[in-house]
């Protein structure tokens, strides 16, 4: 069994800390239109302000409710509607509702709708469309959208916009396994966010640079980078950021052999995702933690976590559902229940081969199938499964795939991960 190394990145759109002021920016990339003259406060204005406060306070479900209410009430201009849809898309993203986050801004894919927006709003909308494509696995369109937005940001000399585009490009290239290009973009984002003083994006950039550093095998430096993010976050209730930071730290400590620190970090990770209400992150990390518990011999606790993970991922993420089935199959092998392991692995493989991004998760399932065949003395079948796993990893072009303890990388938001499998048969 190999230890899991699961990573995920979600965007935090750049935001202003005073959303309730009507003339302040809802995000540093753009501002709402001025308040119209009236004897009292406009109802939609109050709803938008409540939604922005909820977004700032990481109450994402409340933010979704408020922004949807604003659209039902009716916004006062084309620009205001576009901004509300951007905020709603961000809030939906934070709740791991990736298809919905794209749907609420998809109307601006149409040239006639897009052309009605000001240049600054076009930049913001392209950034949100880029994240929608990226988190729904349409990486080429995501890169094109971020690059188009970058051109506008540079023309406007908008540092926050350039930072957001660099950040989005970092995530997109990371999912293409172009980690060096991704690092360059994340480093560029750091430069822009230092200029704007956006601490959330600074922290998230450090987290992602830490992710890439760990991906390349330098786990200690990865932890150092993530600890910089924790210092920036401080005692703020940023459960989304803290959950991901502790996830990466836990997996890095696991690979460094610091089991007690890994377990402590996983406990913190799960607590933050529970408190933040992020079901996708929570389910993926329950699978991660359970994988470690298998190694520690805590099989009953691992089974409980895995069942929770499987139940959630079946509807949230088909590919990661296939991955969780594989982990449960590993537990069955440890218990000697070959029939149940075969059933779980067959379902895992069916799910993964029917999904366009399932090939990378298939590496782990093929490896477990190989181990299962070895235990049943079916050596020819075992070799075939291992060769399939090695073939997938070889295509990734990463020299680390032959290491006996190399990491598995997961992106729950994109249903894509890769496990570099050791050479287990001669």
Does a structural domain hold residue 92?
A: no
- Which CATH number goes with the domain that contains 395? 1.25.40.10
Does a structural domain hold residue 66?
A: no
Does a structural domain hold residue 309?
A: yes
pTM: 0.75
Domain that holds residue 349: 279-426
Does a structural domain hold residue 213?
A: no
Bridge partner residues of 273 (DSSP): none
Neighbours of 347 (CB within 10 A): 16
Query: Can you tell me the distance from the alpha carbon of 131 to that of 291, in angstroms, rounded to the nearest whole number?
Result: 30
Does a structural domain hold residue 388?
A: yes
| Low-confidence residues of the chain: pLDDT under 50 | 1-39, 398-426
Neighbours of 396 (CB within 10 A): 14
pLDDT of residue 226: 96
Query: Can you tell me the distance from the alpha carbon of 48 to that of 66, in angstroms, rounded to the nearest whole number?
Result: 7
- How many domains are contained in the chain? 1
Q: Find the angle CA(77)-CA(121)-CA(107) to the nearest 5 degrees.
A: 75
Does a structural domain hold residue 402?
A: yes
pLDDT of residue 396: 60
Does a structural domain hold residue 163?
A: no
Query: Can you tell me the distance from the alpha carbon of 110 to that of 44, in angstroms, rounded to the nearest whole number?
Result: 26
pLDDT of residue 24: 32
CB 206 within 8 A of CB 226: yes
Neighbours of 311 (CB within 10 A): 13
Does a structural domain hold residue 94?
A: no
Neighbours of 54 (CB within 10 A): 21
């Amino acid at each position: 069994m190999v230890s899991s190394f699961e990573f995920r990145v979600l965007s935090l759109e750049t935001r202003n800390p005073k959303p309730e002021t009507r003339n302040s920016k809802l995000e540093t990339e753009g501002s709402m239109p001025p308040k119209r003259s009236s004897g009292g406060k406009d109802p939609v204005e109050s709803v938008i302000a409540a939604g922005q406060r909820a977004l700032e306070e990481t109450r994402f479900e409340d933010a979704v409710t408020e922004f949807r209410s604003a659209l039902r009430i009716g916004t006062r201009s084309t620009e205001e509607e576009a901004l509300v849809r951007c905020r709603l898309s961000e809030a939906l993203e934070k709740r791991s509702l990736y298809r919905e986050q794209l749907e609420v801004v998809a109307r601006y894919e149409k040239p006639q709708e897009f052309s009605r927006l000001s240049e600054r709003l076009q930049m913001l909308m392209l950034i949100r469309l880029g994240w929608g494509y990226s988190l729904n696995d349409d990486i080429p369109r995501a890169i094109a959208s971020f690059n188009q937005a970058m051109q506008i940001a540079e023309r406007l000399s908008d540092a926050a916009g350039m930072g957001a585009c660099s950040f989005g490009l970092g995530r997109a290239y990371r999912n293409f396994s172009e980690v060096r290009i991704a690092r360059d973009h994340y480093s560029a984002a750091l430069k822009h966010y230092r200029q704007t003083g956006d601490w959330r994006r600074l922290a998230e950039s450090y987290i992602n640079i830490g992710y890439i550093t760990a991906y390349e095998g330098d786990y200690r430096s990865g932890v150092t980078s993530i600890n910089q993010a924790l210092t920036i976050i401080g005692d703020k209730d940023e459960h989304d950021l803290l959950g991901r930071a502790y996830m990466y730290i836990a997996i890095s400590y696991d690979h460094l052999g610091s089991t007690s620190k890994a377990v402590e970090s996983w406990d913190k990770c799960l607590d933050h995702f529970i408190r933040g209400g992020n079901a996708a992150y929570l389910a993926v990390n329950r699978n991660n933690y359970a994988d470690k518990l298998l190694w520690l011999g805590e099989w009953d606790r691992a089974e409980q976590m895995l069942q929770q993970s499987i139940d959630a991922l079946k509807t949230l993420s088909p590919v990661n559902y296939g991955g969780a089935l594989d982990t449960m199959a590993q537990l069955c092998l440890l218990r000697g229940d070959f029939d149940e392991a075969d059933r779980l692995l067959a379902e895992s493989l069916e799910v993964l081969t029917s999904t366009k991004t399932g090939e990378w998760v298939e590496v782990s399932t093929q490896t477990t199938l190989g181990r299962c065949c070895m235990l049943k003395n079916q050596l020819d079948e075992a070799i075939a499964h291992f060769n399939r796993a090695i073939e997938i990893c070889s295509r990734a072009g990463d020299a680390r795939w032959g290491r006996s303890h190399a990491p598995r990388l997961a992106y729950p938001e994109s249903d894509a991960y890769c496990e570099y499998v050791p050479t287990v048969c001669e």
